[in-house]
A and B are shown apart, each in its own frame.
Chain A
């Protein structure tokens, strides 16, 4: 389990990260959202023991993430937002070097290297020079490097930046798989749709402050008392809208087309059921009546609105 308590980083008068708190259980994937310069990378570097916090602590399975504790680093896999590769090193040699550094036994190394290459789908590039790989493959190689020592926690800083759509999709799948393997994964990005698919929790940081943290739907619910419901009819769209507005808990209709609109609803699930039943009883030709999925982008804009103003 990762517990972060009051984590703060100050550079002179400037506070890059201000008293960040959160906790993650094994298997949880946290989408760490924030605009450029919000404090994502600083927070991740503190968790990777690459930056000493000015104040606060982070505990991984009860052990402080302290830069002087070399052993704790064996539990962390850190992938920086930008990384360089050596000119004269092959894929398997690169992994072998880091396996050695992380104390993987010499007899286990070939097996471990084959396993992480298979997981990252790079087995066919084992003998290639690392610098000759495409950007997407280099990202996967870096991820493979983070996995050679089987860490408890993975810190991935902007892992999908610069990748084409296919490489992004593959990376998403891989990160999801890592979560299923029981690892704590923190993935930062300022491109929100890429986090939405696999994050089990989100943390929204802006100007160094964690504005929201929790499961995506919980965060939405805590921030927006009204949920959005989308309705699609064969016809009589305007009439249906007026009908709904005569009911309790309904407000803010927004038409997508003449027979399709969404509205804000503040009632319970029972109220929602009653509303749908009333529409059917009134004879409206309903095709769809559904909750809109929480949209990370909307959520982010809403959460950061106050901070940005």
Chain B
């Protein structure tokens, strides 16, 4: 049994992981290279990581880690819909959904399993970005930079931004899966989910926040802006630079509330997708 197959067989035998096994097999170097150049591929990836990593550490003093935290949610906003939008719509188009619905899986198991499969490659890609940011942070420590120099310690910003990133990704995934299950078309699902997310992340803040600031003042709007997926990162990382000092408990409360909201909506959307699949049992697929 191959190394990858060993790992695959260690994945818990739970319905939600049913497609992750397949994803792992396909993502493995063995599959990509047909098993012939496995060693060469591994050496190549290690050399690449060493070159990029050492360069990042060398140039770390010129990079602001805090600002890099914005990258992750923005990347998730654009990458996840591209990967997730086909999960249910693609099954409709391929006409493979019936086979899954006939299996002893609940609709929610199917939704979670499909979503997880789509998310895994994105998370793997973003893990590389995360690793790069971590290397910069480590590089800065080695080069003697202190947090009071205007650079937030990666030991604080990294865990915070990681949590925020995963929560935001969960929300984006839930929303996209729901749209995918409603539209039954991959392209329609992609357009609709990217449209909604771009609206949420860029358009709404660009209009509402400046207007609201005039009415409510910067502090209240600062709290509201902090609930924004990118704004909350900025809020957490750069709070010391805000014009009016904000207490640490307030920061924590804002982060907790906003994360709970995104988690709740992500869960709601996943459940709505499952409910939508359930209705096909009553009405049939063609309706």
Contact = CB atoms under 8 A, between A and B. Distances in A.
Nearest to B101: A50
Contact of B105 (A51, A70, A93): A70
A73 B104 contact: yes
Q: Is the interface of A mostly helix, strand, loop or mixed?
A: loop
B16 to A, nearest CB: 11
A102 B281 contact: no
A191 to B, nearest CB: 21
Nearest to A88: B26
Interface string B15-39: 1001101100110000000000000
A86 interface: yes
A88 B95 CA distance: 16
Given A100-B21, A101-B15, A85 B96 contact: yes
Chain B: interface residue count, which band?
A: 20 to 34
A84 B91 CA distance: 8
A67 B281 CA distance: 8
A300 B24 CA distance: 51
Interface string A64-75: 000100110110
User: Which one of B9, B98, B100, B282 has the highest number of Cβ atoms from chain A below 10 Å of its Cβ?
Assistant: B98
Main secondary structure of the interface of B (DSSP, over half): helix
B22 A84 contact: no
Interface in A100-117: 100-103, 106
B104 A50 contact: no
A276 B91 CA distance: 63
Given A11-B287, A51-B284, A101-B15, A83 B98 contact: yes
B241 interface: no
A45 interface: yes
B149 interface: no
A101 B18 contact: yes
B287 to A, nearest CB: 7
A101 B104 contact: yes
Contacts of B25: 93
B106 interface: yes
Nearest to A109: B9
Interface in A31-88: 42, 45, 48-52, 67, 70-71, 73-74, 76, 78, 80, 82-86, 88
Contacts of B21: 96-97, 100
A106 B13 contact: yes
B22 A70 contact: no
B99 interface: yes
Given A50-B102, A70-B106, A84-B95, 14 more contacts: A42-B284, A45-B284, A52-B281, A78-B102, A83-B95, A83-B99, A84-B93, A86-B94, A88-B26, A96-B21, A97-B18, A101-B18, A101-B103, A103-B13
6 contacts: A78-B98, A80-B99, A84-B96, A86-B94, A88-B26, A93-B25
Closest 10 pairs between A and B when the two form their complex, measured CB to CB: A84-B94, A84-B96, A70-B104, A84-B95, A73-B104, A78-B102, A101-B103, A80-B98, A67-B281, A52-B282
